[in-house]
Amino acid sequence: MNPLPIVTGVSPIEGAPGTKVIIRGENLGTGQKDLIGLTICNHDCLLSAEWHSPNKLIARSGPSYITDAIIVTTKSGGRGTCTVQFKGIEETSGPLKESAVWVNDSGAVTMRGYLRPAKPSALNYDDPLGLSMEGREALNTEELDKISPDGNSDICSPEFSVVRFLMKHHYATTFQDLKAGAAYLKRTVNSEREGKISFIKNNLGAIFDQLQTSVTLKSLIEVRDVPSTYNLEKQIEDVKKESDSLFNKVLEREKQAEELRGTFKIAKNYKFLFDLPVTLDKNIKKGDYGSVVSDYARAVSFYRDTKSNALKRVLDTVESQMIEVRNELMFKLKQFPSNIEEQKNIIRHLVSLEYEGDVAFDFLLSFFDYIVKVMNRCMKEHLSREQPDLNQASNFLKTPLTESHEFKQRNEVPRLIFLEELTDVLSATFPDFWRLGQSYFKGELVSSPVASNHPAFKRKVLDIIVIYNHLVRAALLPRTLDSQSEHRERFGLWPDFQKPRTLELTSDWLVECLKSLRSCRSFLEVLDLPKDVIQPAKKLVSDFREFSLQLLFESAVSEIRGLKKKENWMVLYKDDAGGITDLPFQFEQIVSKAFEKVVDVSIRGDEGESSLLDESLSTNGLRSSSRQALFEFAFVLKSFYKRDSDNSCRRVTHEQRVLISRNNCQYTRDTILPLLQGKATHLGLSSINFDDARDQYEAISNMLYECYLSSLCDPDREDTLVNLIEPHMYAGNFNWSKCDLVPNDVSPYVNEIVLSVVQVIQDTYSLNKNVVPHVVECIMENVFHEMHRLMIDEKFSRLGAAQATADLSAMKTLFRPYLTESALRYFEGAAAKIQLESRDQEIVDRILRRYLNKSRVIQMCLQR
């Protein structure tokens, strides 16, 4: 392995980033490919390194501002060492100096001091000791500050410190070199002293000649009697006389010219005044009021204090013209709508014409009256359009529409158009009103605005926002206004609000309304109004969001209520729920869509708006509105238990409708509500209470189930199974006490009961197999109760007793899996009343065996 690279020299020893550095040393590599590393002040500079020889490298310094070693790494020798250091400095570059790094030249470049000589500190001086300062070790700035905190190493500085200079430039210089440097400094000083003396010696003759000439001149002046300045003074007087004679005529002509020029100037000024009435008429006809005001101000400033009668008569004519101009400008100022810049110019003209009163503030008051008038007119126009239709159903609500017609109708809702137009009125007028007020109080319209008008102007600004707020609330949120207020009628008494026909249309309508309200709030915020002025607009948006939440759920409730008319009783079979219809799925779609619309339109606010869920009142409103939507479907299902229900279908019987509705209720509770709860949680509506809804569906499910059981065995209804027992039992004037035929089979009414129960089982099983056992138990309990009632007071003949016992025993045997304790008690009570004789037991057994043998299929159907 080759020896380690050693860096022993560098030129220059300091520089800005990008400085070309020549590195000298030993074993600096065998070639460009052998050089694998070069760091200058801990910064990798290999990319810019050029290998020239094993003793010389050239590279560019990196973006480092410290003093550190230069390390060379080669493949053949490895990582080397360094005996010198390079200092990275941050160069201060001017606008015309090339730099290898980015220079912040955003500041203005001035030429101040451009031609001044450079400061002495900026010059380069040789070392006063005559020693080389290149490659010397030096202490860093912190160490130098500790040694000499107040000194400076610059030899031209008043705070020059010898110690700091030596520590900075000769920290590693040997003592012998310092002694040699001191001797060199003495020789330099002595040579400078000897140079001054030799200068005098070399020019001694010239110095004596100058001294001799001065002495001779002094003696000549003292010898003469006449002052030496006499001739000169006389000549100056002669020159003065000659010059005066030359220029007197010129000066006279100049004076005459000045007088003539003054006369022309006065004539010109009077010409302007005499021509002024005609000039004013021309400018007034052209509408050039700026020239009119300028000419009038000029004439007044020139001739207001004149004593000439002719000029006074001209001024009187001009004043009469200006009265008409003032009146015409005031008339134009109060014409609305108008261009705001033109109005500003008119105000300035009237102020310049010294119109009486505070023109600018009077205009602001007129502008306020105009804005209020336009908003009230907008309200009255739209209110009058809606009032003639009070006794007619809105086509928007009752006419089936295609999608394009729906969008058209939605945009033709009078109150939406009213809101948009009212917002347009405010956005078109209020910014100009506010900016005019700011210009007035900043002194841009009048030089001295009345500070006491500021509270009145602020009240007017707030009044405009409040009036807009109340007009919108009267149309869309009338419940938020005080109905007992004496000013309630001025904001419009709108008819009852008719909600859009569907949830989708309601959502689109609310989005359009919120867009208008938010645009109003946005342009108010851009105007940088006081917080108490913007607050009513923010509160209006917040209240409308709460209203939209309520309205969306109300629309959902209306659609859910309409599901009753959409029930077609087409049964879908679910394993756990049994036979259900499509109604629960439609309910889920409506509520899911309502949740999404509520979040998009109401809950999730626009930029700068808080979520409605952060407010307790809004959370309570969400709970109550969602509770109504969740409960409404339960009420729809409950309505199907009535026999005179509007939605009747020959496809299913009344009992089947009740059971299907009960299945729908159960399926909604067990499946649909958890899905909706997951949807609500995903959308952030976790505050909605689903527990009460589950309880409600459970209660209505139980009620429908009781109605179903009642429809099968209600003793108060003639068509129930229980009420069919007695007519069939006593058909043909049958009498138990007169029965004299030996029985050989069960009575026909038993077969009727069995077949009817089997039919019920079939119908019930096809819709909900889970409730079959309980339904049959209830039926049999009522059947045995009825038979107990019929037989408890009867008198039985011997063969009648045998027949009755055989009937009861057959029914008990067939329906044993479904007999409750209550049913068995009724059976035992009836059997005890019959009192079968022992000799007839064989007849009963024979009948029972025969009946059971031929009813095996029925027995299979009745197994649990």
Among the ranges 55-69, 142-156, 253-267, 613-627, which has the highest mean pLDDT value? 55-69
Per-residue confidence band for 275, with pLDDT thresholds at 50, 70 and 90: confident
Q: What is the CATH number assigned to the segment(s) 6-92?
A: 2.60.40.10
pLDDT for 195 equals 60
Cis peptide before 495 (omega within 30 of 0): no
Going by the DSSP 8-state scheme, the letter that residue 444 receives in this structure is S
User: What percent of the chain stands above pLDDT 90?
Assistant: 15
pLDDT for 668 equals 92
Place of tokens 């001091």: 113
pLDDT for 613 equals 67
One-letter amino acid for residue 645 of the chain: S
- 86: three-class secondary structure by DSSP: strand
First to last CA, the chain: 99
Lowest mean pLDDT among 461-465, 477-481, 516-520, 531-535: 477-481
The pLDDT tens digits of the residues spanning 410-437 come to 444 678 888 889 999 999 899 988 988 8
pLDDT for 196 equals 62
On the question of pLDDT at 744 being above 80, the answer is yes
Buried b (16+ CB within 10 A) or exposed e, 817-830: ebbeeebeebbebb
Which secondary structure element, helix H or strand E, spans residue 791, and what is its range? helix 772-791
Burial of 34 (0-12, 13-18, 19+ CB in 10 A): middle
Per-residue confidence band for 266, with pLDDT thresholds at 50, 70 and 90: low
In degrees, to the nearest 5, what angle opens at C-alpha 338 toward C-alphas 334 and 343? 65
Asked if 333 contacts 274 with a C-beta cutoff of 8 angstroms, the reply is no
pLDDT for 529 equals 86
- What is the mean predicted confidence (pLDDT) over 813-831? 86
527 vs 539: CA distance, rounded Å: 18
Lowest mean pLDDT among 351-355, 396-400, 528-532, 585-589: 396-400
On the question of pLDDT at 69 being above 90, the answer is yes
Q: Phi, psi (5° rounding) for residue 56?
A: -150, 130
Comparing CA positions, the residue from 628, 476, 471, 465 lying closest to residue 546 is 476
On the question of pLDDT at 469 being above 80, the answer is yes
Per-residue tokens: 305: 């204090």
On the question of pLDDT at 633 being above 60, the answer is yes
- What is the mean predicted confidence (pLDDT) over 311-322? 78
Going by the DSSP 8-state scheme, the letter that residue 94 receives in this structure is -
Per-residue confidence band for 521, with pLDDT thresholds at 50, 70 and 90: confident
Per-residue tokens: 863: 């197994």
Lowest mean pLDDT among 72-86, 141-155, 432-446, 467-481: 141-155
429 vs 711: CA distance, rounded Å: 71
- What is the mean predicted confidence (pLDDT) over 310-339? 79
Per-residue tokens: 202: 């070399």
Average pLDDT score over the chain: 80
Question: In sequence order, what are the residues at sequence separation of 6 or more whose Cβ sits closer than 8 angstroms to the Cβ of residue 800?
Answer: 735, 736, 737, 738, 739
Asked if 633 contacts 560 with a C-beta cutoff of 8 angstroms, the reply is yes
Per-residue confidence band for 71, with pLDDT thresholds at 50, 70 and 90: very high
Domain ranges within the chain, ordered by starting residue: 6-92, 141-176, 265-353, 357-498, 560-713, 721-861
Place of tokens 């009058």: 384
Residues across the chain: 864
Instruction: Identify the residue with better confidence: 612 or 804.
Output: 804
pLDDT for 404 equals 38
The pLDDT tens digits of the residues spanning 664-715 come to 999 999 999 999 999 988 988 888 889 999 999 999 988 988 888 887 776 6
On the question of pLDDT at 269 being above 80, the answer is no
Lowest mean pLDDT among 251-260, 641-650, 731-740, 820-829: 641-650
Per-residue tokens: 80: 């080397």
Torsion over CA: 778, 782, 785, 791 (sign): negative
- CA 583 to chain centroid, in Å, comes to 39
Instruction: Locate all alpha helices (DSSP H) within 353-447, ordered by sequence.
Output: 359-386, 395-398, 403-411, 414-441
Instruction: Identify the residue with better confidence: 144 or 615.
Output: 144
Q: Phi, psi (5° rounding) for residue 72?
A: -110, 135
On the question of pLDDT at 572 being above 50, the answer is yes
- What is the mean predicted confidence (pLDDT) over 332-361? 80
- What is the mean predicted confidence (pLDDT) over 336-360? 79
Residue 58, beta-bridge partner list: 22, 50
The pLDDT tens digits of the residues spanning 91-130 come to 665 555 544 445 555 544 444 444 444 444 444 556 777 7
> Is the whole model's pTM more than 0.75, yes or no?
no
- CA 121 to chain centroid, in Å, comes to 58
pLDDT for 716 equals 66
pLDDT for 408 equals 41
Buried b (16+ CB within 10 A) or exposed e, 718-757: eebbbebbeebbeeeeeebeebeeebebbbebbbbbbebb
Comparing CA positions, the residue from 512, 419, 430, 432 lying closest to residue 463 is 430
Instruction: Identify the residue with better confidence: 607 or 278.
Output: 278
pLDDT for 91 equals 67
Q: How many CB atoms lie within 10 A of CB 831?
A: 17
Cis peptide before 337 (omega within 30 of 0): yes
pLDDT for 484 equals 60
One-letter amino acid for residue 348 of the chain: R
pLDDT for 589 equals 93
Question: In sequence order, what are the residues at sequence separation of 6 or more whose Cβ sits closer than 8 angstroms to the Cβ of residue 303?
Answer: 273, 311, 315
Comparing CA positions, the residue from 364, 327, 316, 568 lying closest to residue 463 is 364
User: What percent of the chain stands above pLDDT 70?
Assistant: 83
Per-residue confidence band for 267, with pLDDT thresholds at 50, 70 and 90: low
pLDDT for 373 equals 92
Q: Within 13 Å of residue 790, how many CA atoms lie on the same side as its CB?
A: 21
Place of tokens 């649990």: 864
pLDDT for 23 equals 94
Among left, alpha and beta (phi > 0; psi -120 to 50; other), residue 27 is: left
Per-residue tokens: 830: 């009836």
Order across the sheet with 81-82: list the strands: 50-53, 56-60, 20-26, 6-11, 81-82
Per-residue confidence band for 648, with pLDDT thresholds at 50, 70 and 90: low
- What is the mean predicted confidence (pLDDT) over 288-300? 77
182 vs 799: CA distance, rounded Å: 160
SS3 readout for 214-261? HHHHHHHHHHCCCCCCHHHHHHHHHHHHHHHHHHHHHHHHHHHHHHHH
DSSP 123-145: S----TTS---TT-----HHHHH
pLDDT for 695 equals 92
pLDDT for 38 equals 93
Per-residue confidence band for 199, with pLDDT thresholds at 50, 70 and 90: low
